[in-house]
């Protein structure tokens, strides 16, 4: 297997390729030229910064620094999810943080500790990319699931009241809304798993192949990461809804509208 | 509560005192009080927007009033007691939204709740009620979303009655019912020993009990 080599001048040449999308924007006078240029600059600066920072993190491979990195990743995802769901950060931040931390930690421990048989679950070289992939995918699912839960509740308060009026507990009354939210959140992950290898070569597999490994090694990594994402998604969405719901209802079981940003 | 505390709560399953409820920029209910003795029926009348539905929803804890006290069966309604007190109440909402699924599942579902453990669906009563309200047995296999407004309303009434609660709250229960079915409900209410508060502006239910007429919106009595 030949490892693909990448050089800074090669990447610079890649920027030339963007003359095509920028040309399309210019030709059709799309009102996004500034936005597109800024996005490219931001991406470059952010990734250069992360690359430099990760070099240090990988070299030191310090337990506390790695843990701090994980906590920062979870905190950033926490804020993005709440923003994406239109919920107040100061009300729900702790609940979603716990949901994400648990939902990432469990598949991470299994992936690194069991699948890769590495005793140090927080080894920077393994933990950072794997936790990042799990978290990134969970984040999209969480936004869909948590937003669906609160939007369907807001639109169907009379159904909730009807069930409460029949003496349902809060968890009994909200169960259909939880089911709907979980379905919406987990369907894309299930659908993606079903088409892997047929429609596209997934990201991790591509990375492992580009890194010079054979396809059979690549698919094992891919299977493990997909199972981790599937597990992480189910945990983060379920916990995210269950924990945030504790703050989302008043003592009478009625949604508290002040949770919305 | 000085005056009410001298009342025998055993004969008053529902006491509301000095209830004031406002939404931003609007007072819906102002200083409303009422007593409902066991076995009696009362009609809450008033124009649309006079707060009839809101009073029923306040009793069930779906809206928290700005001021006032509510007692159900001798217990003050608060965020803790309401979960126990709802077990004493059957509720038929206005234009009921019953969720999704087959009618039989909708009728079965309340009996799966922990609070209703020990109760089971009375199939004989279910058949009687379907017949009384002119609904065929085959309706049980239909999707609830395929039913007409009138059919849904009758199913909501039947679902509430099957729970055999001591106190009932009906919110415009005849709004989608024809003359015959409205008469069936009126007759059922009059013959039954249940305690019921019925919010309605339907004259067909006027005879079931004493009437409390709410003032129009704004609570100044000028909205009739």
Interface of B with A in 202-221 (CB under 8 A): none
Which stretch of A26-40, A160-174, B102-116, B201-215 has the lowest confidence by average pLDDT?
B201-215
CA closest to A251 among chain B residues:
B79
Alpha carbon of B202: minimum distance to chain A alpha carbons (Å): 22
Instruction: Pick out chain B residues at pLDDT < 50.
Output: 1-5, 218-224
ipTM of this model? 0.90
The pLDDT score that the predictor gives to residue B223 is 31
DSSP state of A71: H
Q: What is the DSSP string of A26-60?
A: HHTT-TTHHHHHHHHHHHHHHHHHHHHHHHHHHHH
User: What does the pLDDT read at residue B10?
Assistant: 66
Whole-number pLDDT of residue A215: 87
In the prediction, which pLDDT does A33 show? 95
Q: What angle do CA A50, A53, A54 make, to 5 degrees?
A: 80
Cβ separation A252–B99 shorter than 8 A: no
Give the gap in angstroms from C-alpha B170 to the nearest C-alpha of chain A. 12
* 3-state SS, residue B44: strand
Which pLDDT belongs to residue B221?
36
The tens digit of pLDDT for each residue in B142-196 reads: 999 999 999 999 999 999 999 999 999 999 999 989 999 999 999 999 999 899 9
Give the residue among A37, A6, A218, A159 at the shortest CA–CA distance from B109. Answer: A159
Over range A183-205, report the average pLDDT.
83
Q: Cβ(B25)–Cβ(B135) under 8 Å?
A: no
Report CB contact under 8 Å: B99, A165. no
Chain A: residues touching B (Cβ < 8 Å): 156, 158-159, 161-169, 172, 176, 250-254
| B26-36 and B89-92 beta bridge pairing | unpaired
**E strands along B8-158, which residues?**
14-23, 26-36, 41-45, 67-72, 75-76, 89-92
**Pick from A129-133, A237-241, B164-168, B207-211: least confident:** B207-211
Closest Cβ opposite residue B62 in set A159, A161, A166: A161
How, if at all, do strands B67-72 and B89-92 pair?
A: unpaired
Please write the tens of the pLDDT for every residue from A54-109.
899 999 999 999 999 999 999 999 999 999 898 888 888 999 999 999 999 999 99
Let me know how long chain A is.
261
pLDDT higher than threshold 70 for residue A22: yes
pLDDT for the residue A213: 86
């Amino acid at each position: 297997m030949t490892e693909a080599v990448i050089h800074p001048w090669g990447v610079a040449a890649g920027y030339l390729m963007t003359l095509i999308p920028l040309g399309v924007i210019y030709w059709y006078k799309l009102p996004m030229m500034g936005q597109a240029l800024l996005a490219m600059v931001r991406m470059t600066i952010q990734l250069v910064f992360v690359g430099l920072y990760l070099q240090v993190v990988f070299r030191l491979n310090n337990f506390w620094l790695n843990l701090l990195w994980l906590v920062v990743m979870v905190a950033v995802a926490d804020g993005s999810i709440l923003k994406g769901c239109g919920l107040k950060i100061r009300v729900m931040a702790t609940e979603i943080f716990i949901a994400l931390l648990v939902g990432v930690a469990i598949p991470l421990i299994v992936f690194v500790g069991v699948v890769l048989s590495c005793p140090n679950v927080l080894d920077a070289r393994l933990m950072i990319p794997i936790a990042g992939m799990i978290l990134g995918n969970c984040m999209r699912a969480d936004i869909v699931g948590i937003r669906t839960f609160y939007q369907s509740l807001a639109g169907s308060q009379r159904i909730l009241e009807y069930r409460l009026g029949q003496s349902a507990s809060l968890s009994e009354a909200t169960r259909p809304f939880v089911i709907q939210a979980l379905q919406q959140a987990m369907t894309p992950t299930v659908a993606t798993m079903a088409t892997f290898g047929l429609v596209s070569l997934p990201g991790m597999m591509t990375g492992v192949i580009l890194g010079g490994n054979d396809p059979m090694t690549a698919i094992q990594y891919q299977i493990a990461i997909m199972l981790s994402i599937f597990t992480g998604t189910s945990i983060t969405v379920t916990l995210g809804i269950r924990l945030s719901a504790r703050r989302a209802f008043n003592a009478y079981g009625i949604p508290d509208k002040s949770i919305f940003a | 509560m000085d005056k009410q505390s001298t009342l025998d709560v055993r004969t008053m399953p529902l006491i509301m005192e000095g209830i004031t409820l406002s939404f931003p920029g609007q007072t819906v209910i102002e200083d409303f009080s009422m007593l409902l003795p066991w076995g009696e029926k009362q009609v809450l009348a008033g124009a649309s927007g006079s707060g009839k539905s809101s009073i029923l929803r306040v009793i069930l804890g779906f809206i928290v009033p700005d001021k006032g006290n509510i007692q159900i069966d001798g217990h003050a309604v608060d965020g803790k007691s309401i979960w126990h007190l709802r077990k004493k109440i059957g509720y038929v909402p206005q234009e009921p939204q019953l969720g999704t699924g087959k009618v039989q599942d909708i009728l079965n579902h309340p009996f799966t709740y922990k609070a209703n453990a020990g109760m089971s669906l009375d199939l004989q009563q279910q058949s009687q009620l379907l017949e009384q309200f002119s609904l065929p047995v085959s309706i049980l296999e239909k999707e609830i979303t395929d039913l007409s407004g009138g059919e849904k309303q009758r199913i909501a009434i039947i679902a509430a009655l099957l729970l055999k609660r001591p106190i009932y709250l009906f919110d415009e229960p005849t709004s989608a019912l024809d003359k015959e079915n409205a008469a069936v409900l009126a007759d059922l209410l009059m013959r039954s020993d249940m305690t019921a508060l019925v919010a309605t502006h339907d004259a067909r239910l006027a005879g079931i009990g004493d009437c409390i007429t709410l003032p129009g919106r704004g609570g100044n009595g000028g909205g009739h």
